[in-house]
Amino acid sequence: MAISDILKICYLLGSLSFIVGLKMLSRPDSAKKGNLYAALGMTIAIIGTILFHENVNHETGEVTRITNLPFIFGAIAIGTVVGYFAAMKVKMTAMPQMVSLFNGMGGACAALIGLVEMNTHHPVEFGERLIIFLGVMIGTVSFAGSMIAYGKLEGKIKDYGSKIMQVTNNTIVFAILGFIVFLSMSEPWSDVLIWAIFGASMVYGILFVLPIGGADMPVVISLLNSFTGIAAAFGGFMYDNQVMLTGGILVGSAGTILTILMCKAMNRSLWNVISGAFSATGPSSKSMDGLSTSEISITDTAIMCAYAQRVVIVPGYGLAVAQAQHTCHEFEKALEAKGVEVNFAIHPVAGRMPGHMNVLLAEADVSYDKLKEMEDINPQLPNTDVLIVIGANDVVNPAAETDPSSPIYGMPIIKANTAKNIIVMKRSMAKGYAGIENELFYDKKTRMLFGDAKVMLEKLIAELKNA
């Protein structure tokens, strides 16, 4: 068997591992194994490339192997150590930031591949040039956009948007694409020009994400993830590397599908995201002046829950902030010990990244069967005795259905207001990411339980034992 055939087998095994891993990632209960399968596929691809990759000089017929092994293994070692400690130390509240940061690194790698190839090999064919230029552009946009998203999630970068910025963004991206097509057909040309594409793409990536509000980050993260996959696929085309191509296509297509699903969940169009119109909006014109909220004590909450038949918990970012996922699971078990049926209502964009609540609760070993998607749980809420909102805001706001002036109007929500009794667990009356009042808090059926979610849940567990 030829060495090239062994390498093809390695790439085939790697590609199959990617596909199986991606399939398993669709369910929280198999996601961990899915990650391991995907990591195994990448390991096989890397080892196969190092051991069996051959460069053939078509003019002389000379065959060379990879020789810069110390640099390769050194980079692998550094990346492994940094990645391991980063993953072990990251808090669940910072998981979206890590996802955004790692995705940005992937985009940067794809862009660097194009820059290196263009400056060292000087391709002359139109198609090859086009692929390289597009890889540089998309990878750079993904890197710059992910870094801005990281800053926003960390609270270090504020939202800034205007109609002028939208027009500017659209002008820049079409100008870059036109320049890429022109440059791909031009001969001769200067190496400096590719750096112009890199610089313009960097500017566009920054301006693209800068206007987008925190509530819209799940969509942006999934879109930038698809960009990184597409850029990696271009790299696979460039190197004629099957596993790189397969991985890029899988990431790009999965990210695109997820983006569409996130847009649907937010009642947005994909074009709004791409064009830069998907940004933070102004507050609702509807005022809550003259309305008041009602509070409830820990004891009364525990009694209400203990004597309920069905309880639904709606988790939000506040649950992650309080690091209360494990305590919430203990609360769930305490209710079930009283004979109460407990489920979790999951909104697709709750939190700061796609599937944030699923990951959060899976970490606490909450059964996957208890995680109910919005479309499945909403019809059951009118028959729910107690609905508990923990740290969620905009995703349960009835203004999405009742107030045409609201920036979230038309967004599908968890219809918490249809439950028989509603308890909202919050630290304060602070507004959500959309910057508007939540009508649910002023509903006659709603009782506010103010305090840190973890502390409140611990007190509820103690009360339930005595109820």
pLDDT in tens, 312-347: 999 998 888 888 999 999 999 999 999 999 999 999
The model carries a pTM of 0.77
Give just the sign of the alpha carbon dihedral 91, 92, 96, 101: positive
Q: Using CA atoms of 255, 72, 59, 8 in order, give the dihedral in degrees to the nearest 10.
A: -50
Residue tagged active-site, from 394, 403, 443, 452: 394
Contact between 342 and 311 under an 8 Å Cβ cutoff? The reply is yes
Residue 274: predicted pLDDT: 60
* Catalytic residue list contains 394: yes
Enumerate the domain spans of the chain.
96-280, 298-466
**Using CA atoms, how far apart are residues 309 and 312, in angstroms rounded to an integer?**
10
**Using CA atoms, how far apart are residues 280 and 133, in angstroms rounded to an integer?**
31
Residue 32: predicted pLDDT: 81
CATH 3.40.50.1220 assigned to 298-466? yes
DSSP E strand boundaries for 270-350: 310-315, 341-346
Residues of the chain with pLDDT under 70: 1, 28, 56-59, 61, 92-93, 121-124, 159, 161-162, 187-190, 213-215, 268, 272-290, 432-435, 467
155: left (phi over 0), alpha (psi -120 to 50) or beta: left
- Which H or E element spans position 372? strand 371-373
Residue 306: predicted pLDDT: 93
Contact between 386 and 420 under an 8 Å Cβ cutoff? The reply is yes
Q: What is the pLDDT of residues 74-127, one digit of tens each?
A: 998 999 999 888 888 887 667 788 888 999 999 999 899 888 877 776 666 888
